[in-house]
Amino acid sequence: MADIYGEITDSVINRAIPFLMKWRPALFNFVAPSQRPAFDRNGHFTGIEERWRVCREVRWPHGVDHNTFPRYTRVLPLKMPGVVGGGIPYCVQITGAKIDFQPSNEINLPPELSPPLEDQHFAVWAKASLGMGCPIDSLIDSLLDAHFYTHAKFLENPDLINQMTLDVPSLICFSLEVFATGSLYVLPQLGANNPPLHDIRVEVDKVEITNINPPELEDAVECYVRLAIRTYALPELVKALKKIRIKSPHLKFSPSLTSGLPNNPAIEQNKLLVWLDVNVTKVTGP
C-alpha cells in the first residue's frame, strides 16, 4: 500500500482560518498603497510617502510587536489609459472564508451552483471587502497641468511621477460574497508511476458572485474571479506541496503520490485524503 497516509477535515481547516486571519493577516489583505511626494519646509523633495488605504483596518493582536509580521501584502496598482502616474490604489480584503469537502455540510451553496456537491468535489466561500481609489479633481488637475514637474527633482527625473501610485483621501468600498466549486486531478504523464506532488492540479468548475447586476456584468466579473483563482490563488496552494521536505544529514526523502488508487488525492467523507510513497536515497559528499 502506501508509506504515508494523511487526512484533514474541512471543519479543521475552517477552524484554522480565523486563526490565520488574526496572526497572518497579509495572507488575506492585499493593498496597492497611495503614494505622494514629500517635501521639507524649504520645498525640497525628500522622498515618497505611502498611505495604506483599506476598507477594514487590520490591527495587530494585543501584545504583538508591529514588526513581527506584515498586516498587508503589497500588490501592483490598477493601470488606466491616459492617467499620468503609476496607477490607481485599491485593496482586496478577505473577511471570511470556508471550505467544504463532499458531501456538503459547511457551506450553503446558491442554486446557480447546482447543490449538493458532486463526488470528489469541494466548495469554497469567501466574503471580501473591495476598495477602489478615485482621485479628487484637484489631483487630476495637477496631473494634467504637470505641476509636479515644476519641482527640480522631477525635472531631473520626470519618470518619477509615472512610478507613483496616485494619492487618494479614501477608497470607495463595497462587499461581495464569492462561491466556487471544483475538484483535484493529477497531471497525466506517459509511463510515469507515482507522480510527484506538484503534478496535482485544481479544476474550478463554477463561480457565483452574489448581488451583481446586470447579469452580463456578473458573468464578466465571475469570469475574471475564476481566472484569478485558477491562475494565482490555487496554484499558490499547490506550490506548497513542493516544499514538503523530510530532512536528514545523510538521507534524501522524495515523497510522491501512490499510484493504483481510484482517487489520490481524494475528497470524500468531509475529508481531503492523500496516500504517499517515499523514496529514500543516501546523500554522498559534504
Task: List the chain domain ranges.
Answer: 4-282
**pLDDT level of residue 173 (50, 70, 90 thresholds):** very high
**pLDDT level of residue 101 (50, 70, 90 thresholds):** very high
The answer to whether the pTM exceeds 0.85 is no
CB 256 within 8 A of CB 277: yes
Count helices and strands in the chain by DSSP H and E runs: 5, 12
- DSSP H/E element including 141: helix 137-144
Q: Which of 273, 269, 262 is nearest to 104 (CA)?
A: 269
- DSSP H/E element including 133: strand 121-133
Q: Which three cell numbers stand for residue 220?
A: 464578466
CA dihedral sign of residues 189, 259, 273, 280: negative
- The CA-based dihedral angle spanning residues 18, 23, 25, 27, taken in that order and rounded to the nearest 10 degrees: -80
What pLDDT shows up at residue 247?
A: 57
pLDDT at 109 over 80: yes
Q: From CA 177, how far away is CA 175, in angstroms rounded?
A: 7
Q: From CA 52, how far away is CA 184, in angstroms rounded?
A: 37
| Choice between 17 and 202, residue whose per-residue pLDDT is larger | 17
Q: Which three cell numbers stand for residue 13?
A: 481547516
Q: Which three cell numbers stand for residue 92?
A: 482586496
pLDDT at 237 over 70: no
pLDDT at 139 over 70: no
What pLDDT shows up at residue 149?
A: 47
Residues in a beta bridge with 45: 39
Residues in a beta bridge with 256: 196, 277
Return the CA Rg of the chain: 24
What pLDDT shows up at residue 163?
A: 64
Please, what is the average pLDDT of the chain? Answer: 79
Q: From CA 200, how far away is CA 256, in angstroms rounded?
A: 11
**pLDDT level of residue 147 (50, 70, 90 thresholds):** very low
Sheet holding 200-209, edge to edge: 73-74, 29-32, 90-101, 121-133, 171-186, 200-209
Q: Which three cell numbers stand for residue 166?
A: 496616485
Q: What is the pLDDT of residues 206-223, one digit of tens each?
A: 889 887 777 877 787 788
Q: Which of 263, 276, 277 is nearest to 122 (CA)?
A: 263
What is the percent of the chain with per-residue pLDDT over 90, rounded to a whole number? 28
Would you call 146 helix, strand, or coil by DSSP? coil
Q: From CA 75, how far away is CA 93, in angstroms rounded?
A: 12
Q: Which three cell numbers stand for residue 276?
A: 504517499
CB 47 within 8 A of CB 38: yes
At residue 76, φ and ψ (nearest 5 deg) are -70, 145
Q: What is the pLDDT of residues 48-97, one digit of tens each?
A: 788 899 999 998 887 777 677 889 999 888 877 656 556 889 999 999 99
